[in-house]
Structure 1
Amino acid sequence: MQFTEFNFKPFINETLENIKFKTATPVQEKLIPIALSGRDIVGESKTGSGKTHTFLLPIFQQIDTQIDGVQAVITAPSRELATQIYNAAMAFTKFDDTIRITNFVGGTDKKRQIEKLSGNQPHIVIGTPGRILDLIDAQALKTYTANIFVIDEADMTLDMGFLNEVDKIAGTFDKKVQMLVFSATIPQKLQPFLKKYLNNPVMEKIATKTVISDMIDNWLISTKGRGNNAAILEVLQTVNPYLAMIFTNTKERADELHRFLVNNGIKAAKIHGGVPPRERKRIMKAVQNLDYQYVVATDLAARGIDIEGVSHIINDAIPRDLEFFVHRVGRTGRNGMSGTAITLYQPSDDAAIHELEKIGIKFTPKVIKNGEIVDSYDRDRRDKREKSKEALDITMIGLVKKKKKHIKPAYKKKIGWEIDKQKKAKKRIEGRAQGRAERKSKRQSF
């Protein structure tokens, strides 16, 4: 569906044309008409599905700049996400500069924000729950006039402990306020909040055709017992990415890996919750300006933060919450561009990898050889050999039992011959199978 079919206001269409948005994503096609109708919505959709413009476009369509007051409030669980939404919203003011939009996040000058609010109220408020609530409590921000309330990344809001603040913000609105809740998942703990505030909402789960984009090559590389630091350094020196994000599971591990890379001559940035807000903002700007080729990050950066031009994702370890694997990998292969996701693993990760495969994620085993990343053997080949050995052992047991019933001279030697016969037959079968696979691979490469 083309965006022109929504009959948006002229300045919206001009903005969409300027940012080269032509075709609506499935979540936008499904939910924008419902949002425009005024219904409450709970939209469940994976990262990178276009949720931001799914709520921004209906907001801009309904904004009346003749009214002096807050008309929409949007919360996001992190400063980076709020700033990203703010930047996306500001693109529309190029074609209608009468719309006032503000971004209220922690780590900024609250006193100055209060002073500015005393002059006039913004039409659209974007920010983190804590700072927005602070400004409401200071009686500086008058959100009670809003008719749309958006909660973006609701599950992350819950996980980061901000649901109480969001609850208090929601309590400042008129009962007629339209609520739009967007999330990658809808956990059970979120249900009481939804029942408290939403009025007969439209619940939509937008299924994606694939778990990760077809534009992404998804590789597995074994550490082979080495430390991850050395393995990651070798990977980076081999792939020479345009821009790589390296994900770790903890802030401490991010600090350690970042220090190692810098000490080895790699100019890398670092983003995680322990980095001061102003420094994070500076780093994000530097990354966008391509001052860094490598970014070490925790999962804070995996949810919704869109760093343009990421060519490679490297997983230092598989995330404890497997849902984050999809969020991480989704940072590359965006806007029609190809990308590569590389996950380091060791034998203890097999159970997690199998779980990811169950939800439809396909991996290609790779190995670094002679300065290149090339195809490797199936990581399950040892398990398959063990299963074939187990089947052979059952055959041997049967032969032994059978021979013991009719003990004859040299029966042990005959059993040995039979076992050798079984092994040779199995080896021939495996050899033919491997030959077929190699021939097929050669045909596909041409």
Structure 2
Amino acid sequence: MTKFSQYNFNDAINKSLKEIGFEEPTPVQEAVISLINKKKDIIVQSETGSGKTHAFLLPILNAITKDQTVQALIATPSRELAYQIYEDTQAILKNYSEEYNAFIYVGGADRDRQKRKLDAHQPQIAIGTPGRLWDMIRENDLHVDDVQRFVVDEADMTLDMGFLDDIDHIASKMPENHEMMVFSATIPQRLEPFLKKYMKGPQRVELKNSSIIAKNVDNWLMFAHGRDKKEMIYQLMTLGSPYLALIFANTKKSVDEIYNYLKSKGLKVARIHGGLSPRERKRVMKQVENMEYQFVVATDLAARGIDINGVSHVINAEIPDDLDFFIHRVGRTGRNKMSGIAITLYNPGEENKIAELEHMGIKFSPKDLKNGEIVEAYDRDRRTQRHATHEKLEPKLVGFVKKQKTKKKPGYKKRIRQAISTDKRQKTRIKNRQAMKAQRDKRRGS
């Protein structure tokens, strides 16, 4: 079993790792750190929460020098994730005997103050959102002439949020011999032209989870039956005692409605979405980290852009339009092998979205809320099949269908379809014979 001590990190990093309780690298760290040490361009596809941040931070920080030049640039699509990476960087640098600087550049921060700080000296590590980083580079405040390593974190989210042009501009200003590292949960086809443009024979690392939803997460599905989802969420949150619950909705409006409802019920709840000012979002995130809130309502910004520790429950108040975000949402719970519960609420007419998620390999346990309790519910497919076939088939065929489903041997679905088709043909022939007999009887009587 690999230990961090085997990587020959400097004493300051080893001390910091011990303080934050890191002993063994995650699979992505084990796969990536050695490649970065070999100065390879890399494209890393790994699930949310797999430890990608320290996979690039540790070898980068181990290699920085005292030169007052920007040696590594890290771009990430959200302010929250930029602050998270900055704090992780400071936690590693704290035991260095000499001062090494990491600066953060995000929208909403005092730009003039950032410029004055850069006039005094350049940081060894620059972390920020693409738009603000490009502004500082374009105006020649942040100097990237000596950058050795350029990290694009959460690349698919960067693409989705329209920041790829800024990343393109930044990459065009990099020295020719710099190393580029792209980290992402998914690598969309639309990202490939950018990767080919700026990367030199990149090493691709793809780590897929053995199951899409971690085995230690109970993944529940609840049919709303047209009920008020806000009331259902309140009941779910007060039935047990969540350590920390994340409630996801698709829009700022929906987040506000759920937030206001839960607040009116007396719950101490926070909200996070793009409509809040950067300062307010930062304040709320700090309060959440300090465990001042037990319930957080958020848009998908929180699913990808931040890492909240100790999430015991995730509730999907709405199914995301981009179904990949479902995985990112549920991935916020069940971290570090802790148990978690994910609950998805859906309305009539959304069965097709559930079917698509199941087609992606996501398995649900149907549940329902009855008389203030969570109870087992019928599977949607069984219920649909019952209405579609059992009520129309002969009792003998119903038994056959049940028997085949129980066996679930290869081709059982095909055998069921063939049996149903045969039954229909037989009924049609019987019906036709009866009609012909009736006609003959009629002729005889006339």
Structure-2 residue corresponding to 1:346: 347
Greater shift, 388-397 or 173-182, is seen at 388-397
Which runs of structure 2 are paired with 1:93-172 in the superposition (5 Å)? 93-96=93-96, 97-172=98-173
Q: Secondary structure at the match of 2:337?
A: coil
Q: Secondary structure at the match of 1:218?
A: strand
Structure-2 residue corresponding to 1:83: 83
Cα deviation for residue 204 of structure 1 reads 2.0
Distance 2:118 2:70 in 1: 11
Structure-1 residue corresponding to 2:5: 4
Distance 1:209 1:15 in 2: 31
Distance 2:17 2:215 in 1: 25
Structure-2 residue corresponding to 1:387: 389
Greater shift, 277-286 or 375-384, is seen at 375-384
Structure-2 residue corresponding to 1:264: 265
Match status 1:189 vs 2:193: no
Distance 2:376 2:321 in 1: 27
Q: Secondary structure at the match of 1:303?
A: helix
Cα deviation for residue 380 of structure 1 reads 2.2
Post-superposition Cα deviations, 1:321-369, rounded to whole Å, max 9, x if no partner, equal 1100000001111122111101001232221112211222111011123
Letter in structure 2 aligned against 1:387? T
Q: Secondary structure at the match of 2:209?
A: coil
Cα deviation for residue 80 of structure 1 reads 0.3
Letter in structure 1 aligned against 2:220? W
Structure-1 residue corresponding to 2:232: 231
Cα deviation for residue 263 of structure 1 reads 2.0
Structure-2 residue corresponding to 1:255: 256
Normalising to structure 2: TM-score of the pair? 0.87
Cα deviation for residue 387 of structure 1 reads 2.0
Letter in structure 1 aligned against 2:77? P
Greater shift, 99-108 or 23-32, is seen at 23-32
Cα deviation for residue 316 of structure 1 reads 0.6
Distance 2:362 2:23 in 1: 29
Cα deviation for residue 396 of structure 1 reads 4.9
Match status 1:292 vs 2:293: yes
Cα deviation for residue 5 of structure 1 reads 2.2
Cα deviation for residue 406 of structure 1 reads 5.8
Structure 1 unaligned spans of 5+: 408-446
Letter in structure 1 aligned against 2:162? G
Distance 1:295 1:155 in 2: 25
Q: How many residues align?
A: 407
Post-superposition Cα deviations, 1:376-421, rounded to whole Å, max 9, x if no partner, equal 22222321212233443736555444555667xxxxxxxxxxxxxx
Cα deviation for residue 140 of structure 1 reads 1.8
Which runs of structure 2 are paired with 1:346-365 in the superposition (5 Å)? 346-365=347-366
Post-superposition Cα deviations, 1:218-262, rounded to whole Å, max 9, x if no partner, equal 001111111222222222222331211110011111112212222
**Does the C-alpha gap of structure 1 residues 15 and 396 become closer, same or farther in structure 2, counting only changes over 3 Å?**
same
Structure-1 residue corresponding to 2:41: 40
Greater shift, 224-233 or 43-52, is seen at 224-233
Post-superposition Cα deviations, 1:249-307, rounded to whole Å, max 9, x if no partner, equal 11111112212222222221110111110010111111111211111100010004111
Structure-2 residue corresponding to 1:369: 370
CA contact (8 A) 2:13 2:93 kept: no
CA contact (8 A) 1:47 1:304 kept: no
Distance 1:133 1:403 in 2: 81
Q: Secondary structure at the match of 1:144?
A: coil
Distance 2:70 2:190 in 1: 30
Which runs of structure 2 are paired with 1:393-432 in the superposition (5 Å)? 394=424, 396-397=427-428, 399-401=430-432, 403=434
Q: Secondary structure at the match of 1:143?
A: coil
Letter in structure 2 aligned against 1:388? H
Distance 1:5 1:398 in 2: 77
Distance 1:195 1:4 in 2: 35
Which runs of structure 2 are paired with 1:320-331 in the superposition (5 Å)? 320-331=321-332
Greater shift, 7-16 or 55-64, is seen at 7-16
- In angstroms, what is the RMSD of aligned CA positions? 1.8
Letter in structure 2 aligned against 1:95? N
Letter in structure 2 aligned against 1:235? L
